[in-house]
Amino acid sequence: MKIFITGTSSGIGLGLAKLLSDEGHEVWGVARREMKSVKYRYSVCDITDHAQVSKVMAEMEEAKFLPDVVVLGSAILPKDLEGSFDYEKSAQGFATNYDGALIWVSKLLPKFLERKSGKFIAVSSTSAKRPDIKSVGLPASKAALSMAFRSLRLRYRPDNIKFSTVFFGPVATPVIPEFTTKDGGKKFFFVLSAAKAAKLLKKAIFGNRDKYYFPFLFTCIFRLTLWIPDRIYSKISSKLKS
């Protein structure tokens, strides 16, 4: 299977690319920086730069690489509420987490429609369901991406183009440092390691569901608490992270 993955510089994306390439799949990754000793093809690309995205598309076309599955995993946490609201930081969050995902949809969807098959996977998180006291950009952009995929799913299901969304609970990655130890491990028992998250994300690649929640128990409990007012939930979650 041919699989295209964004966000392979570190964390879940890096783990997923290694896992799939080791299993013999043809992987093409997009990373923010040069990668060393990897078994898969990759392109260095700033996904917020449309010219660089177009260059990657040209590279894939030249290599005759049309993916069967596209995993959109690039993400940043814009800390835009330190002091006053920082619009520029918040906009950077949307540029990466929302626009940086949908630009690949716009580039690859026409080719999928011509082939009459293809699958897009948006890597979201439970942050799409709750506000964050430290960031406007993260929950807002992830919520927007999740809603965009719902619309795309409705529109293109009859054309055999699949749009799945994966909602992760806490994962020990550089995106959310509060969940990660200094040596890169997970800080709390309920936090997934990046390697475990990559294995779970693989299920979405080969599955047929519209939505996935990982890990199941944590995200199930989380969804049951959505009736709790935001201010109370924020205090509880802040204590858990401290």
Q: How many CB atoms lie within 10 A of CB 135?
A: 22
Give 191's pLDDT tier (boundaries 50, 70, 90). confident
Query: Is the N-terminal amide bond of 139 cis, ω within 30° of 0?
Result: no
Q: How many CB atoms lie within 10 A of CB 118?
A: 22
Q: What is the pLDDT of residues 52-70, one digit of tens each?
A: 999 999 999 999 999 999 9
Estimate to the nearest angstrom the gap between the alpha carbon of 235 and the chain centroid: 26
Answer for the pair 28, 17: CB distance below 8 angstroms, yes or no: no
d(CA 113, CA 117): 7
DSSP-derived 3-state class of residue 37: coil
d(CA 8, CA 29): 6
36 vs 97, higher pLDDT: 97
Q: Is a pLDDT exceeding 70 seen at residue 186?
A: no
Beta strands at 192-193 and 211-214: parallel, antiparallel or unpaired: unpaired
175 vs 203, higher pLDDT: 203
Answer for the pair 129, 145: CB distance below 8 angstroms, yes or no: no
Give the start-to-end residue ranges of the domains of the chain. 2-241
Structure pTM? 0.93
What's the angle, vertex CA 154, arms to CA 153 and CA 158, rounded to 5?
Answer: 90
| Total residues found in the chain within this entry | 242
Give 34's pLDDT tier (boundaries 50, 70, 90). confident
Superfamily of the domain at 2-241: NAD(P)-binding Rossmann-like Domain (3.40.50.720)
DSSP-derived 3-state class of residue 84: coil
Q: Is a pLDDT exceeding 60 seen at residue 242?
A: no
